[in-house]
Chains A and B, each alone.
Chain A
Amino acid sequence: MNLTLVDWIVMLVYFCFVLGIGFLLKRRVNTSTDFFLAGRAIPAWVCGLAFISANLGAQEVIGMAASGAKYGIATSHFYWIGAIPAMVFVGLFMMPFYYGSRARSVPEYLRLRFDEKTRGLNAISFATMTVFSSGISMYAMARLIQTLHIFDVPFQRMSLSPEWIFHVSIIFSAVIVLGYILLGGLSSAIYNEVLQFFLIVAGFLPLVWLGLKNVGGWHGITRQLPSGYTHSWSGMGSASTNRLGVEWFGLVMGLGFVLSFGYWCTDFLVIQRAMAADSMTAARRTPLIAAIPKMFFPFLVILPGLIAIALPTQTTISTGMGTSGSRYVATVGQGLIPAKIDGRTGLPILDNNGKPILDYDLAVPTMLLHYFPTGVLGLGITALLASFMSGMAGNVTAFNTVWTYDLYQSYIKPNATDAHYLVMGRLATVFGIALSVAAAYAAAHFNNIMDMLQLVFAFVNAPLFATFLLGMFWKRATGHGAFAGLLAGTGSAAFHHGLTIPTGATPGIKGAWLGTVLHVYPSEMAQNFWTAIWAWSMCFVVTLVISLLTRPREEKELVGLVYSLTERPSDEHLPWHKRPIGLGVAVLVLTVMLNLLFW
């Protein structure tokens, strides 16, 4: 890749702003509430953009384009089914309890509603998860910088060994994120997430524009590709007639209900952004405002993948500047997407049928290199780096809050002064980032360990929404019930995964590790969705049964925590577009229209 001075200027200006925001906000951080909850003084639209930006990590930008190239427009199910309905639900029905209970974190809500052990379980698993996610984000960023040869030329100039690029990338991203969170806490993270949101849009919009122009618009794509790529619902009747390999029921229940609600309604990483809002109405509007850009994201992140696969196949692909100047590798692929290359032999990796396996993750990077001249290229790269960092910072701010409030204050040192917890929050930020760096190196060295961890997280997360649903809407649910339900849900997810396998996979990390195969799924995605459905149902039933067998809590203790015992927030004096219910309905209607448009 040939980056010139103007690209570096664009990058430098951006990083100055990122740290500058931290410095500007530093003076405003006086209490732990300022640091962890941004003083609960952020307007709704800012929280809303941070709400999606915190989730708009690299996995999304790179991963959704990769899925777009692999599965086609059906990838939009991850938005239109897998995000929007849950975002509307959390805004309308759950935010009154999160914000109204004055809990400072999601685990703290669990303690108020249930008991200490449920909170502890959730806090520990969540804290571990955030550290590993931010480590994986860091690792992916360093790998991408290596693959795109972004730093090769400056490294050559300074006569440093190219082996250091990986280490420098990790340290660089860690220092930047550490810098702005340490300075300004959550408000700094939120402000930067909003900045990153606009930057990501600014970096990707011209890519989509040029790509669409080149391929002849949406009609050009439909002409180039088989119809399976360009319809989101028409083949969903059975797993064998669509590219995802899932039937509609598994999709709607597994992705649309269990996984999506489990993430958007219970994950403190995103909920924290809404908790920072300046009023109850603002907190409720946060996810609803977020849903509006979210529903149009498929055009920004999935379309580049579709365009990349629809373009005429390139026989030679520049892999950019190697240490010995320009290096071209003749390769096979489809459209702009190259085949995966075996690092040792330099030859494409073939599947069982002798066809090359495509490296879909390179869809966005090759699109950037294909269309962007120097200048805008710097902007595109900056947008990519911004997306990595917003994902990382989201995890770190969620980690330092849960660690300080839910673990340190609860179990290690209660009753200390607020100033003490503020110091601890800053220390936890350093500590959390150090752990992320360690996780990034673990990911680099033991690929299987990371796969396994992600699998375990999936087991832990899948049942969560059942616990929150019963906790918020059924006053009879008890702490013992919730705790047992969570354990049962996680356990049954593990069992289900251990007894089933996607077709064509070998037993092991992909499933069937318990020795017997009870069911073969048409695809890995179908297996994931059904594992989640199992876990959720099990957690729901066990929580219900154990709750009925244990002593309920006094009703007066549950005021503000359970739907039937809490006064409805009134917002009748507001115009419809400022009322959560009005916004929610508008969002849902738009989503249905988008689904029909791409049916």
Chain B
Amino acid sequence: MGLDVRLPIGALFVILGVVLASFGVVSDKALYERSLGININLEWGLVMLGFGLIMLIFGRHRSIADIEGRTSARDRSAEEGEKTCPPGKQT
């Protein structure tokens, strides 16, 4: 399929990471009594942001490689035997 699944995952994690981390920065310290004094919103938000960025970078990387390595249009026939991964149909 043309859409690399890493792109939506990356985007979702970047957005959620930014939302949580920025909330962690502005939120009241008393909130984190239950999470053992750890500002879990800030820390986990940053982890999610980092993961999202990695996904985006790898996803972009492959999409570009696909454009360069694109050969012929995708063969829709599913009836033929063993076939290799068709290059993603770019939009």
Contacts and interface: CB of A to CB of B under 8 A. Distances in A.
A210 B36 CA distance: 7
A191 B3 contact: yes
Contacts of B23: 6, 375
Interface in A196-227: 198-199, 202, 206, 210, 213-214
B8 A21 contact: yes
A31 B76 contact: yes
Contacts of A202: 13, 16, 44, 48, 51
A145 interface: no
A46 B76 contact: no
A373 interface: yes
A376 B20 contact: yes
A38 B8 contact: no
Nearest to B77: A33
A24 B79 CA distance: 26
Contacts of B68: none
B12 A13 contact: yes
A444 interface: no
A481 B69 CA distance: 51
Contact of B85 (A6, A41, A191, A379): A41
A14 B12 contact: yes
A170 interface: no
Interface in A89-114: 102
B35 A195 contact: no
A17 B36 contact: no
Contacts, number: 116
B74 interface: yes
Interface residues of B, number: 39
Nearest to B48: A202
Contact of B32 (A13, A40, A373): A373
Contacts of A191: 3, 5, 8
Contact of A372 (B11, B34, B78): B34
A10 interface: yes
Contacts of B84: 278-279
A328 B27 CA distance: 26
B61 interface: no
A20 interface: yes
A319 B72 CA distance: 60
A41 B74 contact: yes
B16 A379 contact: yes
B36 A194 contact: no
A382 B74 CA distance: 36
B9 A25 contact: no
A279 B13 contact: no
Nearest to A50: B5
A370 B9 contact: no
Interface in A336-379: 370-376, 379
Interface string A9-49: 11001100100110011001011010001111111001000
Interface of B: 1-3, 5, 8-9, 11-13, 15-16, 19-20, 23-24, 27, 31-32, 34-36, 38, 40-41, 44-45, 48, 51, 74, 76, 78-79, 81-86, 89
20 contacts: A10-B20, A17-B8, A17-B11, A21-B3, A25-B3, A28-B3, A28-B89, A38-B1, A41-B86, A42-B1, A43-B85, A46-B5, A102-B78, A191-B8, A198-B13, A202-B13, A202-B44, A373-B31, A373-B41, A375-B24
Q: Which 5 residue pairs are nearest across A and B when measured between Cβ atoms?
A: A375-B41, A278-B85, A373-B31, A33-B78, A6-B23
